[in-house]
Amino acid sequence: MLLFRVFGLATVLLFVCNQLPGQIYFEDQFSEINMSTYTYTISETDTLKMDVFIPEDNVSADKPVVLYVHGGGFAGGQRDLPNHHTFCENLAKKGYVAITMSYSLLMKGKSFSCDQPAPNKQTTFFKTAREISLASQFIADHESEWGISPEKIVLAGSSAGAEAVIHNAYWKKTRQGSLSPDFQYAGVISMAGALSNLNWVTDSTAIPTQLFHGTCDNLVPYGEAPHHYCEADEPGYLMLYGSFSIAEKLRETGSSFYLVTGCNDGHEWNELPLHSHFHYVVDFLYNDIVQGEFRQIHQVEKNDDQKNNCKNKDHYQFCVN
């Protein structure tokens, strides 16, 4: 297999420009999009729903699915905000079934910072990831009705949603009791997310993984650092492994990854892939998921304005040069 390590926008665009014109799952092909809302589970406290966007004229019986999980610090956010619906609509225009889901806001009215005990943070990751498993099984159960393939479900999430999807993708315990033991996601897209245990990433668990992150994210670390950069003596001290650490682990295991780094940028990278950096999402979905290519890509977006409050003290050569 060919191994790619990509720096610079021009090289990435070369992948884009080499595609055939009018290619389904790469260019807009469908203008009629049907949106329906479903309840995927009812818990003791919540009725959890998902909005499903299906391209009307894509008659394929095994359409890929993108399941998006919103951010909000596990305390807020909504599945049906306009930018989330637009993201799903833009994917559906290319042929995908795109879904945005609600989940229990376990931290509503509570802090998720350094005063929140680390075990509560880990439990929040776990319980939210479990709800993603329930949503995934609900999607798989509608295979015939929606014309989708359960083997082609890709998770995507922003901020808290990114933490939830990356944990669901790599922490197998979060799928027990909801999904079959041999279930595997087709891929995962993490927009400013992180894992709490890097050892979950192995050559046997690795799936195509796209990672977006700013190097000066002071909430969710780009590399290896405590959540919110809490001090070791604070209750909320929990080590996390961000996009750069995950990508390096995937490199070591010889697995596919697509890292997009925002030099000197912050947590705003949890939203950029929904709009201005959407083309990277399309590139990943088409080449790595639909076409099944093996690629190891690191795309660097440079910003020379160093943030004065940047808590990440690491200096990455690819941002300096």
Question: Within 13 A of 177's CA, how many CA atoms are on the CB side?
Answer: 6
Q: What is the pLDDT of residues 109-151, one digit of tens each?
A: 999 999 999 999 999 999 999 999 999 999 999 999 999 999 9
- Rounded average pLDDT over 217-231: 97
β-bridge mates for residue 241, sequence order: 195, 224
Report the chain's mean pLDDT, rounded to a whole number.
93
DSSP string, 146-168: HTEEEEEEEEEEETHHHHHHHHH
Give the SS3 label for residue 98. strand
Structure tokens at 119: 């075990």
Alpha-helical (H) ranges within the chain are 9-17, 82-92, 118-141, 143-146, 160-170, 243-252, 278-283, 317-320
pLDDT of residue 22: 64
Domains of the chain: 9-320 (3.40.50.1820)
DSSP string, 102-130: ----TTTTS--STTS-HHHHHHHHHHHHH
- Is the pLDDT reported for residue 44 higher than 60? yes
- Please tell me the distance from the alpha carbon of residue 81 to that of residue 274, in angstroms, as a whole number: 12
- To the question of pTM greater than 0.85 for the whole model, the response is yes
